[in-house]
Structure 1
Amino acid sequence: MITYEVKLKKIGEMTTLPDSQRLFGFLMNFSKKYCTEDEISSFVKGVREQKQKCMISNIVPSGYYPTPKEYIMQKLQKRLEKNQKEIQRLEKEQINSKKESEKIIQELIEKKNQENEDKTNKKKGKKLNKTDEKEKLEKEKNEFNKIAISIDDLSAKHIHETLKSMDFVAQNQFKELLDIGKKKEIIKVKELKEFKYIKKTKTFIQKFRLESQMKELPGMPNVAYSLPILSFKNKSEEIQKEFSFFVRVEKKSCISKALKELKRSFDGHEIPCFLGGKASAGYNEYGIYDIEELEESKNEKQEVVNVSYLNLGVLLPNFDNIQVEDSVLEIHTSDRKPFEIENEVSKVISFITAGSIITVKNDTVDPYQIGKSIDNSKYNPLYNKNTIIFGNSYLVKLEAHNET
């Protein structure tokens, strides 16, 4: 087996983040330059029958992994319980501070009334000094605001919102993020914000389709639609332009042969490619600028209990090999039925999405056996019999971690 990291730079705008299924199709189409049709058909059949090993990730920002948000929130529960106790203590301080402020305000009112009474009675009493009370009031106000900020920093809602914005976390900080639930003390929002992360944002632009020109029927009204535009920014609001995807295949496979040839063809220039719709309008264009062969882990066969993996792609699960109760799985259900197909044909399929944590039933399970690829004719008989729905996404093995 060999693992590649294919590095790309985005050109123009992105309407989608290419997933492992799209990339499998791209790589197979690219392989036609270096492999015969029979070799490609044999390879695809081997992937479906699990005789050929091939694992592909979604495209991710270079140097980052998708954040396992649900997993992190589960592991933070004990720390959040301590947060709640601390919040209750701070709220009591707030109440005391509020009472003290009200007391000071009442004293100021009484002094003001005293001054007014003296003026009404035309007395020349000495002017009352209210400076001390005002300073005390300002101090109590600052203390109240300080406590309010501390409560916000401990709030489970704000911690969840912060984690939700961390769509990708730096690879070199990934283990530290997974272990964040092991600490004994309270957790604060600013602790999460110390991590390097990427946030995905989606905006929409208005577009029009010229029906009268497309159908050559003058007078037809234009059709308005919205086009999603994705952007990826780090916490400094800098736009991420470099992306990667991972491929793990057998060394003599068609994909490996194609990637090796592509690597040899670099001459200082990026190789353009389109990975998504709206290519004719200049969207979803990338430039491949490097292909790196990654070293295989020397500890891959080491016996470890409760082996877990981070999913980086679109995975069709093989539940015979997954310890579901010890995994944190995020499921996406896709409607595969085109409008031409009759109702009795299967039309939906569920995938495990990127960022899920998958625990295998025993340490002898090959990571390739966690997912599977299936025949597409069951979902769309319009395709030829050799087409498959690719579901063997790329998995990153996590270090064993015990619960505390």
Structure 2
Amino acid sequence: MQYYKLSLRVQGKITQIPDSQKLFGALIYAYKDDWGDEEATILTDKIFQKELFFALSSLLPQGTLPLPGNWLIEKNQSQKGMLDKAFYKEIKKRTYIPSDQIQLILQQPNMTKMIYPYVTVESKQQVHASLESLLYDLPGLEPTLYSVNETLVNYVLNEKQECTRVVDYDVYIEVEESEAGKAWIKWIQSQCQNRTILPLGPRMSQGLNLYQLCDLQAITLPESKGYYLNLGMFVPQQIDYSHSYCKLFTSQRRPYHVSGGWQDQSKIMTYIDLGSLICTQNKREAGRSLKIEENRILFGNAFLYPVEVN
């Protein structure tokens, strides 16, 4: 297997941090624009059948990994017999922490509150006005007010709570060494060279949720001893549930058609969310994707980052 880190830069405000399934869909649509429907379908089918092994993370603030919150809470409860509210508060604040600190808190959970910088994620509503009088050239029409969700992603630098906005993101990629794998990576590299802009969420016409592909670099990772930190929207196939620490995430997923937009028929899907600790002895078969309709899959093969757990 080969491992890569993809760098992206946000181009404006965002309504959410894109997950691995959304990123996979955007990459496939961009690939289809370059190579056509047939080639995109062939690639998607190879990934679905695992003829080409491909794993992808959600977007992560640069230099960070998701905090394994469920594992930390359970360890704290087992040691103290009840949940330490102060400890829980420190966990809730830290959505992401520096990647080089993950192993520290897995060995010494009580060090969590000492870790800076960390990344906090907050949502707020922003009021917008639609000027119908200008749109329809009818002076006197009242403006239509509506609210748009905005997600604020910030590094908290120190105990004084000094913050700086996150603009750069990392994505982890794992792909097998094969001709198909090399071709797929070569195409992603070409998109970085072209500084391609990917729409990764709603309201892109208003300049929201736009990300520029910047760089793709090969990386090395430590050897696994059976435990992994989940970095995306993970659909399990073969994992050891009794030794895993899973956080579930439920969302509504609707197929998108170019001619008709988002379809009314939605599917409620439950994933294992990022930050979960997954135990498996067979990473290739740990996750899977689901076929929701012909030529469309729901990507669930999230990137699993090797860690050591006591």
TM (normalized to structure 1)?
0.66
Aligned mate of 2:300, from 380, 391, 404: 391
Aligned mate of 2:104, from 165, 171, 176: 176
- Whole-Å separation in 2 of the counterparts to 1:348 and 1:33: 29
Q: Does structure 2 conserve the Cα–Cα contact (< 8 Å) formed by 1:54 and 1:392?
A: yes
* Aligned residue runs from structure 1 range 188-227, under 5 A: 192-209=113-130, 222-227=143-148
The answer to whether 1:164 aligns with 2:104 is: no
Aligned mate of 2:289, from 373, 381, 397: 373
Counterpart residue number, 2:242: 325
Q: Does structure 2 conserve the Cα–Cα contact (< 8 Å) formed by 1:250 and 1:256?
A: no
Q: Does structure 1 conserve the Cα–Cα contact (< 8 Å) formed by 2:47 and 2:54?
A: yes
- Whole-Å separation in 2 of the counterparts to 1:317 and 1:215: 51
- Whole-Å separation in 2 of the counterparts to 1:234 and 1:296: 25
The answer to whether 1:276 aligns with 2:201 is: yes
List per-residue Cα deviations over 1:255-274 (Å, max 9, x = no partner).
313123235x36xxx54333
Q: CA deviation at 1:72?
A: 0.8
The answer to whether 1:7 aligns with 2:7 is: yes
Counterpart residue number, 1:28: 28
Counterpart residue number, 2:160: none
- Whole-Å separation in 1 of the counterparts to 2:296 and 2:133: 36
- Whole-Å separation in 2 of the counterparts to 1:351 and 1:216: 47
Q: Does structure 2 conserve the Cα–Cα contact (< 8 Å) formed by 1:373 and 1:388?
A: yes
What SS class does the counterpart of residue 238 from structure 1 fall into? strand
Distance 1:78 1:196, change over 3 A: farther
Q: CA deviation at 1:245?
A: 1.0
Q: Does structure 2 conserve the Cα–Cα contact (< 8 Å) formed by 1:31 and 1:255?
A: no
What SS class does the counterpart of residue 51 from structure 1 fall into? coil
Aligned mate of 1:354, from 266, 274, 286: 274
Unaligned 5+ runs, structure 1? 85-154, 182-186, 378-384
The answer to whether 1:249 aligns with 2:166 is: no
Q: Higher Cα Rg: structure 1 or 2?
A: 1
Q: CA deviation at 1:63?
A: 0.7
Query: Which has more strand, going by share of residues?
Result: 2
- Whole-Å separation in 2 of the counterparts to 1:204 and 1:340: 25
Q: Does structure 1 conserve the Cα–Cα contact (< 8 Å) formed by 2:77 and 2:84?
A: no
Query: Which has more helix, going by share of residues?
Result: 1
- Whole-Å separation in 2 of the counterparts to 1:371 and 1:211: 48
Range moving further from structure 2, 390-399 or 254-263? 254-263
Matched pairs, number: 295
Q: Does structure 1 conserve the Cα–Cα contact (< 8 Å) formed by 2:124 and 2:149?
A: yes
Q: Does structure 1 conserve the Cα–Cα contact (< 8 Å) formed by 2:189 and 2:215?
A: no
Q: Does structure 2 conserve the Cα–Cα contact (< 8 Å) formed by 1:2 and 1:296?
A: no
| Matched letter for residue 312 of structure 1 | L
TM (normalized to structure 2)?
0.84
Give aligned-pair identity as a percent. 24
Q: Does structure 1 conserve the Cα–Cα contact (< 8 Å) formed by 2:65 and 2:98?
A: yes
| Matched letter for residue 209 of structure 2 | N
Q: Does structure 1 conserve the Cα–Cα contact (< 8 Å) formed by 2:191 and 2:213?
A: no
Q: CA deviation at 1:218?
A: 9.3
Counterpart residue number, 1:228: 149
- Whole-Å separation in 2 of the counterparts to 1:326 and 1:285: 38
Q: CA deviation at 1:49?
A: 2.0
